[in-house]
Homo-oligomer: A and B are copies of this chain.
Amino acid sequence: MAGSVHIEDLFSSLGDALVTDPDRMLAYRRDQSLLTEAGMPLALVRARDTDDVVETMKWAHRHGVPVVTRGAGTGLAGAANALDGCIVLSVEKLNKILHIDTAARTATVQPGVINGDLAAAVAEHGLWYVPDPGSRAISTIGGNLATNAGGTCCAKYGVTADHVARIKAVLADGRIIHTGAVTRKNVAGLNLTQLLVGSEGTLAVIVEATMRLRAAPTAASTVVAAFPSTAQAIDAVLAIRDRAEPCLLELMDRTTIAAVNEMTHMGLDESAGALLLIQCDGRDAGAEAQTCAAVCAEVGATEVYDTDDPVEGEEFMQARRVALTALERQGSTLLDDLAVPIPRLPEMLSAIEQIAQKHCLVIGTFGHAADGNLHPTIVFDAADDDHTRRARLAFDEMVAECLALGGSISGEHGIGVLKEPYLERMVGSVERELMSKVKVAFDPTSILNPGRGI
């Protein structure tokens, strides 16, 4: 690794943006994942502009020092955890919304802009930035792009990848690239934009992105339906597809319902095996929600409630939003992020219940039912070695089951450190070798987040 002389070179170009005080670097060592390794960085760069990123990359390239880029550090897979002797390159100060083009319906932003800040800024122009990861109040657009963040909107409107037009990025050697086009359609050359999305800082450092906006959303109508079992809830999810296209379709299992009740005293139906929360938007939201409610009743919901009142709807959605927090109150949590084809959800949910029983663990499952994307959350005592060991075993077994069902080991959190052991099983060895070669095309000396995400 680089010695102190080299770091002084970097200090001369970065000044205050360079931090080497170990205490000040501590908060930048990890993202929000549990049970992931984190090293001790050589230095922290809090980039103030693109030039700082360029200088950092040129220096790192010259000296062969790894660089771990991070936004707000809200990741859940360890992709932004420091490596020993690395530069942690924080883009949190690159937080300007550079331009909102109301005619072209795009917003050009720096990577450190908080998702919710962008959404609020464009709302003032009657526009809508759609992607809404659970972390939207605290996570950055750069991080959302690096992990291809999802959220509850994906059922109808897709993931972050579906809302990006252009990316400006700094390559490993400090050169700048611009990818994509503002136009809705573009087939000029290889799709470097979609390659950067979800690449978890392994290919380049995103320094600017032009995101697509939609017309302001209409008021949503909400349905809450309680089912005796998760299997019946999924029957409803499958049946709804033929008659409606909800903009949100979320699932909470029995364990999650109880945890939410305990925290919020909301009085959700604890006799239910599963709860579906459904929202419809658009010109015919009310009628569409009623269709969803009718379908729920037809497939065996024990209780169905629907409302056109946005405030009441928001109260119900709050139950889903606090799901993770509610489970976190019960212990340490290991949050998974599995996606399976929608018809395989009953098998996946049943397997999760069996795995919980087998290892005597509490696993609360909630997630984006319309995408087949579940977040089974293992609650355990991190101070208890055996408990932790069982949590890891359960995690392994859930991932294995997901792969057996033709699923993906990550729907929206990314691979990072947490899922690296499973990646090759999912994508295959030839495919992984190909991904590594593509990384080399971008980053020939492998200094950008080496060992992560690919």
Q: Which of A192-200, A271-279, A351-359 contacts B (4 or more CB under 8 A)?
A: A192-200
Against B, the Cβ 8 Å flags (1 = close, 0 = not) of A411-438 are: 1111100010001001110111011011
Interchain CA distance A15-B410 in the complex, whole Å? 44
* Any B CB within 8 A of the CB of A148: yes
B373 touches A411 (CB 8 A): no
Interchain CA distance A70-B103 in the complex, whole Å? 39
| Whole-angstrom distance between the Cβ of A325 and the nearest chain B Cβ | 22
* Any B CB within 8 A of the CB of A342: yes
The chain B residue with its CB closest to the CB of A432 is B189
Please give, as numbers and ranges, the residues of chain B lying within 8 Å of A287 by CB-CB distance.
283
Interchain CA distance A241-B104 in the complex, whole Å? 11
A178 touches B428 (CB 8 A): yes
8 Å CB contact of A179 from B215, B283, B431: B431
Please give, as numbers and ranges, the residues of chain B lying within 8 Å of A205 by CB-CB distance.
none
| Segment 213-268 of A: residues with Cβ below 8 Å from B | 215, 238, 241-245
Select the residue from A178, A199, A411, A438 with max chain B CB neighbours within 10 A. Answer: A438
* Any B CB within 8 A of the CB of A182: yes
| Whole-angstrom distance between the Cβ of A299 and the nearest chain B Cβ | 15
* Any B CB within 8 A of the CB of A12: no
* Any B CB within 8 A of the CB of A142: no
8 Å CB contact of A185 from B150, B183, B195, B243: B150
A185 touches B154 (CB 8 A): yes
Interface of A toward B, CB cutoff 8 Å:
103-105, 126, 147-148, 150, 154, 159, 161-162, 171, 175-179, 181-192, 194-195, 197-199, 202-203, 215, 238, 241-245, 282-284, 287-288, 339-343, 368, 370-373, 406-415, 419, 423, 426-428, 430-432, 434-435, 437-442, 453-454
Given contacts A184-B339, A187-B414, 7 further A-B contacts (CB under 8 A): A104-B342, A187-B413, A189-B427, A195-B195, A215-B243, A282-B282, A438-B441
The 3 A-B residue pairs with the shortest CB-CB distance in the complex, in nearest-first order? A437-B441, A194-B194, A103-B343
